[in-house]
Chains A and B, each alone.
Chain A
Amino acid sequence: MTEKAPAPLIQFAGVTKRFGALTVLDDFNFEVAPGEKVTLIGPSGSGKSTVLRILMTLEPFQEGRLTLAGMDYQEPGGTGPFKASERHLREIRSHVGMVFQSFNLFPHMSVMRNVAEAPVRVLGLSRDEAQARAVDLLAMVGLADKKDHFPSQLSGGQQQRVAIARALAMRPRVLLFDEPTSALDPQLVGEVLAVIGDLAHEHDLTMLLVTHEMRFAREVSDRVCFFDKGRICEQGSPEAIFTAPSHPRTCEFLASVLR
């Protein structure tokens, strides 16, 4: 992303997000280019998850403008908290996938079904085709042999890898990761990061990653954004941020997480 940037895929322009009286994002501006891998770091409560959740349409926002591939999140004259019709929101969602901190696999479905269900129901694929794709994706995350297991029979790391396969099965242009390894035992973190690291080589996939794994962030991201109190107070290449942070808050934060 060093050359002249193409038109942004994601654009937050003056977005304000409140929970009641609490303003979480205040006049927030942020752009992501197609195919870019961006890592969001920052102290707890600074609004990193909120950015991802707004992008996934899990949370509405109050003011400003957010576009994805030129599509506005809010429709003119749209009603409800999202100021948009359900149809419009589904159109947006069809481009975005998300991997959650707590996996959120469906406990009553086998691994295979977790991955293949939405492509059948939502994309209208035939069950055979969806399952063939699921097998490929499960192989990619190294779990081909677990396809008939239920989530409760898997380790946390395995569950998270299934969740990644499940998100990929919907062929999103943007994939959001909200602290994908925070709920894992330390010895299971590596296997999940390896899968995400592989994905970082996918040229077309735009990735937004919230993580506390600083070394990993440094390896995979094109850009690192440091969040504080609902704003990006510093951003730049991983080298710039990690080796020569300029903002005092960034220095403080990095000092605290890197010991």
Chain B
Amino acid sequence: MMYGFTWDTATPLTYAWSILPIILIGLTVTLKAAAAGFAIALVLGLVFAMLRRSRWRSVSWTTACVVEFLRDTPLLVQLFFLYYVLPEYGLTLPAFLTGALALGLQYSAYTSEVYRGGIEAVPRGQWEAATALNMTRMQTYRDIVVPQIVPRILPAMGNYMVAMIKETPVLSVITVLDMMALANMIGERTFEYLVPLTMVGLIFLILTLICSAGLHRLQKVLPKAGIPLR
């Protein structure tokens, strides 16, 4: 990874400039991990939210427990668990995927709550109308419920996405070569951590500020009644 790169530690500025390309490579890994993790969280969270509303007590209760457990235990330990335990059961995933899965699992606990709030805000008459039209539960979710909750839940989901981006550095402990891992490696080689770590922090800060501004704008343009379907 680091071969072929040279750095110039003469002054902090030249140093920063010389390692910027490496850090930016790490940034793409960070963003990819967050994107993959968030995709998992979006899907899994919806599944959890739906299972929680199941008519069978045992299903909804078990789901509630699983979600609570995922929410109340650290991402880092969940990450170690997946990284070390999955291979014991013959499921050896690349570190990147394991990391994305851990992020997705942890955040699915959060997103499921967001979905739940959104689903509960859909008036009961909408469900009843769907039943009266003989739609299945899956069709009701897909065509009636989800399109109506999307505008309502987008801001909260956006916040969780930003939060997830900021948690990706944890993946560096299972050898994912994200920004954090690369900054650490540079630090180990040069014995100069201040500049690379500060750069990583700054990049996160910029990312966060951009995302927040974007979310702010998004909230202004969102439709109120649901995603219009012609």
A residues contacting B by CB (< 8 A) are 56-58, 80-81, 86, 90, 93-94, 96-98, 100, 102-110, 112-113, 117-118, 121-122, 148, 150, 152, 163, 166-167, 170
Contact = CB atoms under 8 A, between A and B. Distances in A.
Contacts of A100: 125, 128-129, 132
B228 A108 contact: yes
Contacts of A113: 229-230
Interface string B208-230: 00000000000000000111111
A118 B55 contact: no
B143 A93 contact: no
A166 B133 contact: yes
Contacts of B143: 117, 121
B159 interface: no
A57 B128 CA distance: 9
B131 interface: yes
Nearest to A167: B132
A234 B132 CA distance: 29
Contact of A170 (B55, B128, B134): B134
Given A86-B137, A100-B128, 20 more contacts: A57-B131, A90-B136, A94-B134, A97-B132, A98-B132, A100-B132, A102-B125, A104-B123, A106-B129, A108-B147, A108-B227, A109-B228, A110-B228, A110-B230, A113-B230, A117-B143, A118-B135, A121-B143, A122-B135, A150-B225
B150 to A, nearest CB: 9
Given A117-B143, A122-B139, A150-B225, A104 B126 contact: yes
Nearest to A93: B134
Given A80-B55, A100-B125, A108-B225, A148 B133 contact: no
Contact of A104 (B128, B147, B148): B128
Interface of B: 55-56, 123, 125-126, 128-129, 131-137, 139, 143-144, 147-148, 225-230
A171 to B, nearest CB: 11
21 contacts: A58-B131, A93-B131, A94-B134, A98-B128, A100-B129, A100-B132, A102-B125, A105-B129, A106-B126, A106-B129, A106-B148, A106-B226, A108-B147, A108-B228, A109-B228, A117-B143, A122-B133, A122-B134, A166-B133, A167-B132, A167-B133
Nearest to B128: A58
Nearest to A102: B125
Contacts of B131: 56-58, 93
B149 to A, nearest CB: 10
Contacts of B132: 56, 58, 93, 96-98, 100, 167
A94 B135 CA distance: 10
Contact of B133 (A80, A108, A110, A118): A118
Nearest to B151: A108
B225 A152 contact: yes
Contact of A109 (B56, B134, B229): B229
A121 B227 contact: no
A206 to B, nearest CB: 15
Nearest to B227: A108
A104 B125 CA distance: 5
A151 B148 CA distance: 14
Nearest to A79: B56
B55 to A, nearest CB: 6
A172 to B, nearest CB: 9
A81 B125 contact: no
Contacts of A86: 136-137
A110 B230 CA distance: 5
B23 to A, nearest CB: 43
Contacts of A163: 129
Which of B125, B129, B143 has the most CB atoms of chain A within a 10 A radius of its CB?
A: B129
B225 A121 contact: no
| The 8 residue pairs across chains A and B that have the minimum distance between CB atoms | A108-B226, A104-B125, A118-B133, A104-B129, A98-B132, A107-B225, A93-B134, A108-B147
A173 to B, nearest CB: 13
A108 B229 contact: yes
A117 B230 CA distance: 11
B182 to A, nearest CB: 45
Contacts of B144: 106
A122 B133 CA distance: 8
Contacts of A166: 133
A177 B139 CA distance: 24
B64 to A, nearest CB: 19
Q: Which of B134, B225, B226 neighbours the largest number of chain A CB atoms within 10 Å of its CB?
A: B134
